[in-house]
Amino acid sequence: MTGLSSLLRSATTLLALYSSARAAPTLYASNIRVQNHTSDRFASQLNKRAVAFDYNGDKVRGVNLGGWFVLEPWITPSIFDEWATSHTVVDEYTYTKTLGKAEASSRLSNHWNTWITQGDFNEIAQAGLNHVRIPIGYWAVAPVDGDPYVQGQLDVLDNAIGWARGAGLKVMLDLHGAPGSQNGFDNSGRYGSVEWQQGDSVAQTLTALQNLANRYKGDTDVVTAIELLNEPLGPKLDLAGVQDFYNKGYDTVKSASSNFAVTFHDAFQDFSTYWTGFGSGKSDLMLDTHQYQIFSPPEVGRSPSDHVSAACALGPKLAGTNKWIVVGEWTGAQTDCAKWLNGLGKGARYDGSFPESTYTGTCDGKYTGTVAGLSSDDKNNIRSYVEAQLDAYEQHTGWIFWTWKTESAPEWHMKDLIAEGLFPQPLNSRQHPGQCG
């Protein structure tokens, strides 16, 4: 889901005094931005504690800015429509390869500067949220020779950090794609085989993390966490190697600034058991788990009440986890109906149009459409399901919804779910109280 360039930002001036009490209230002085011939930007924070969000005492309530710096066909199908029949372009890799660098740069620059704006950050804050998770690809910060990807994302990301600061939001930067692809999903930048951990790919990923952390080490009043890698596909990877990468990635990020929390994904292992002993002695370590109930036939076949029950069952598991844990991706969707959600040109399990699936229900109004246009039953089911997940996920560190906006996938479009009353406002209001007991 993202993109990263090879620019390193250094600085000659650092003025910082850190309070030692982790639980003390956060106090900030004005941030000072300094420039010199080797650095476009640097900010010093005064009177700031180690991590500028109390992940022990406060709840993360956030949203992902998906489809911005890492393309996903289902979030912005208009970008991929010209290949809807040929299926020759299915991800950002084939998009940039097919268009060439000049045309891809022109189109993507327009997308980066229009898909998410300062107004979105303000609306997110007004909705009561306190975090945004921003996916970015390795190619934005540490491009690899021979790759077709284009750069320029970081100038816009720099602006986004300022927008977040102005809106009072914290940012988790999420390395969403690694060289070779860590999962083979289109949201890694390249759909197909999983080739991460081959050749120099792990070292290149660490370089991307180093560049990212160095660039924003002066913005830790806003950038409170860096996620080492999104969704490495554990069943197809050497898990010992994943853990080794996480250890090295943690050291890489913390060496840039001790003020970052470090987030790592569960690699599709049981978050409540597999990672219990990992990271002993490490401070500011956060586990990320993604909870969807739609990407297998049994899950997508659940009734609305079964979806709620499954969500509620996660609450005690999260509460019993021995480190900070955030549900870093989840959705209001109880179907996989959204156009191209399973890949460009692919159908849905819910209506039986995906290979080896059987019919559960119709995708009318959910393949493409608007939140306002959903049926009354769908609206009620989404509201109930969202409330159950909020109640469950706040039993530990909190949650980050996927995603803020889409072009035409109503079950996933948080901005419109809020506008239509399907996402609670305020966040603690309930139309279906007590679902999780």
Residue 394 corresponds to which amino acid?
A: E
Q: Is 247 left (phi over 0), alpha (psi -120 to 50) or beta?
A: alpha
Q: Active-site residue among 72, 227, 231, 420?
A: 231
* 329 assigned to active site: yes
What is the b/e burial string over 177-205, where b = at least 16 CB atoms within 10 angstroms of the residue's CB? bbbbbbbbbbbbbbbeebebbeeebbebb
Give me the catalytic one of 329, 394, 411, 420: 329
CA separation, residue 224 to residues 209, 260, 285, 300 (Å): 15, 5, 12, 35
**Is 195 considered catalytic here?**
no
* Residues with a known catalytic role: 231, 329
